[in-house]
């Protein structure tokens, strides 16, 4: 492994997958969700390309010797994602309050706590933990903030497992089945696949925002509030 090349390509998912192998990918998933310094890793695209590396298109996309075990990834990725997030929650519960009591800290700013509180209030703790998995950077910071906000560890664990499994398995399987179906022409579709990653990553949040707006409009209409429902009665 060329460590100088790897250091240059930490943000390049394709270079990471080709360089670090399955164990390295699992370590990165743990770091991105559990260590505050891991927020810059490209988790979504990394998992999808790992799925490709486990498919029949592995050698054409990533080069000879890049083939990985899909079974290892499907078992290891959710375990590492859940373990990392639990560490983040523990860190937030133990150390977070001392970090966030200050206007600014070396790692976080106070605004992260405010945004997390708003996020928890908007979606509720359960949805917040699950949906955060699909948002880069947020999935790193939400875990310690959840601990800081005193979300019970058992409750966090349940929804952490749900979110961790949904996130890792969906991304891996997208890459795996896409690689198998498009193996002869995978290079041609690599950029569109990355666009699909972004869409998949943000779609749960878009769905929830639209659903919440619809619920608020319906509630406002039932209460007869024309301003909140966005409709003014004539006459």
User: What mean pLDDT is predicted for residues 3-22?
Assistant: 60
CA distance 152 to 144: 12
The domain segmentation of the chain, as residue ranges, is: 3-222
0.75 surpassed by pTM: no
End-to-end CA distance of the chain: 76
Amino acid 234: pLDDT: 46
What percent of the chain is modeled with pLDDT above 90? 22
User: What mean pLDDT is predicted for residues 140-159?
Assistant: 90
Nearest to 135 by CA among 44, 73, 26: 44
What percent of the chain is modeled with pLDDT above 70? 65
Cβ 125 vs Cβ 155: under 8 Å: yes
CA distance 55 to 33: 25
Q: What is the pLDDT of residues 96-124, one digit of tens each?
A: 777 666 666 555 566 766 777 777 788 88
Amino acid 231: pLDDT: 47
Average pLDDT, the chain: 77
User: What mean pLDDT is predicted for residues 211-234?
Assistant: 65
Q: Which two tokens stand for residue 203?
A: 């779609």
């Amino acid at each position: 492994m060329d460590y100088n090349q790897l250091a240059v390509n930490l943000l390049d998912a394709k270079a990471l997958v080709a360089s670090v192998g399955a164990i390295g990918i699992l370590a990165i998933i743990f770091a991105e969700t559990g260590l505050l310094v891991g927020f810059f890793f490209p988790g979504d695209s990394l998992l999808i390309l790992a799925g490709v590396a486990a498919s029949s298109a592995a050698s054409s996309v990533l080069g000879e010797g890049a083939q990985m075990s899909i079974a290892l990834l499907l078992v290891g990725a959710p375990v590492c994602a859940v373990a990392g997030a639990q560490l983040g929650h523990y860190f937030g519960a133990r150390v977070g309050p001392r970090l966030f009591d200050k206007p600014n800290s070396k790692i976080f700013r106070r605004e992260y706590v405010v945004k997390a509180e708003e996020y928890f209030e908007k979606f509720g703790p359960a949805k917040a933990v699950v949906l955060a998995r699909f948002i880069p950077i947020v999935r790193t910071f939400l875990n310690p903030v959840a601990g800081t906000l005193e979300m019970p560890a058992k409750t966090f664990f349940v929804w952490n497992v749900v979110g961790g499994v949904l996130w890792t398995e969906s991304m891996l399987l997208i890459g795996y089945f896409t690689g198998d179906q498009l193996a002869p022409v995978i290079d041609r579709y690599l950029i569109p696949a990355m666009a699909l990653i972004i869409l998949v990553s943000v779609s749960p949040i878009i769905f929830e925002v639209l659903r919440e707006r619809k619920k608020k409009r319906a509630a406002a209409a039932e209460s007869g509030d024309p301003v909140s429902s966005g409709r003014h009665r004539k006459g």
